[in-house]
Amino acid sequence: MKFNRFVLLAGLAFAGLCTAAQAQDTLKIGWAISKTGPFAAGAAVTTLPNYQVWVKDVNDAGGINVGGKKMKIEVIEYDDRSNSEEMIKAVERLATQDKVDFILPPWSTGMNLAAAPIFNKLGYPQLAVTANTNQAPQLTKRWPNLTFWLGLPSEITDGIVETFSKMNKDGKINKKVAMIAVADQFGIELSTATREGLKKAGFDIVYDKSYPFGTQDMQPVLKDAQAANPDVLLAFSYPPDTFAITDTAKVLAFNPKVLFVGVGTAFPGYKGKFQAGAEGVMGIGGSDANLPGIKWYIQHHKEVIGREPDRWASPITYASLQVLQQAIERVGKVDRAAIIKEINTGSFETIIGKVKLEDGQNRNIWSVGQWQGADFFGVAPVNKAGAKAPIAKPAWQ
């Protein structure tokens, strides 16, 4: 009886070891992302497709090499419903109940900033690609696991001022600017920094207005902006607003020589919807379409997802996942603290070129892009390799 009991216990222990070994055959990676709600449009273009492409690429290659063993990715995902409280609950569940090895970040500045304390508390690296805040240098000191990838609002401002100043010097525009911004952290930070930068550069801000998040009718603000007769309409907007502002400007026959709209300008759907009307439209970010890595990525994304990626944060999102993978492989085990250190100190080869974070921030960035022909090229910083000269926007057809 005692012997049988020993055999039974030994058998159970062996089964447990087998289960543990099987569990180690995969890396569990989770995310909570906006699949419904107002953030879903942005997440569905910039973030989720890149998670899906990367996971497919890793698994098709046999997995991530962890200490000499190829480990495929097992995905656990939740819909945060564009709600920060839901997102935080889902992140906690991924860590404490699902016990995932890594958690990929949500979409948007606000969601990533809301997630930062819980990612830090749980000890997970947070690749906050779609977050843009001037607090980044302070936040990465407070939370070393947190990294930022799109530059600072102040750097975007520098690019905007640099671009507009060049166009003014070349006689393409005057110095009259109308500025509108969504009234959340993204819009407030960027408009505040840009307002100061433009004034310092001698530009005349003839109209300056914020609008509530979720605004659908852009006619009132655009009519007032048009009445101020600016050469530049500058909007810090989210994807639905970006499309609505462009549509409304066409309806009103509002033809500024510079139309700069925010998140969504670089989306393939923007070019698809406005066709020739997208020519000369500016927005945040951009890419160098002539880079071999970018050429491969655009075609590959299209083959996997069925459509092209956006030309700003999408390639950087994929590049951040390449960095994560390389960091895991260098450390050789699921040691999140060591992987966080490697992400912060290592140098990585990616589709956007070499990436080496400085104080938790990616410096390989574009601040201003513009549709010229079939691509959304980076135009600022003007001294960055691959930068295109900015052009004045043609009148609406």
> pTM for the whole thing?
0.85
What pLDDT does residue 132 have?
85
219: number of Cβ within 10 Å = 12
Nearest CA to 262 among 369, 173, 161, 362?
A: 369
Q: Flag residues of the chain having pLDDT under 50.
A: 1-23
Coil, helix or strand at residue 86: helix
Structure tokens at 291: 């880079």
Contacts with 264 (C-beta within 8 Å, 6 or more apart), sequence order: 41, 42, 45, 237, 238, 239, 240, 241, 242, 243, 270, 283
Q: Cα-Cα-Cα-Cα dihedral of 184, 188, 189, 192, to 10°?
A: 180
The one-letter code for the residue type at 296 is W
- Nearest in space to 83 (alpha carbons), one of 35, 133, 143, 29: 35
- Give me the pLDDT at residue 197, please: 94
Residue-wise DSSP of 51-79: HHHHHHHHHHTT-EEETTEEEEEEEEEEE
- For residue 184, the model assigns a pLDDT of 87
Which of 297, 246, 294 has its CA nearest to residue 270? 246
Instruction: Please tell me the distance from the alpha carbon of residue 90 to that of residue 103, in angstroms, as a whole number.
Output: 10
- Calculate the alpha carbon distances from 17 to 10, 21, 96, 374 in Å: 11, 6, 21, 55
Which helix (H) or strand (E) segment holds residue 163: the answer is: helix 153-169
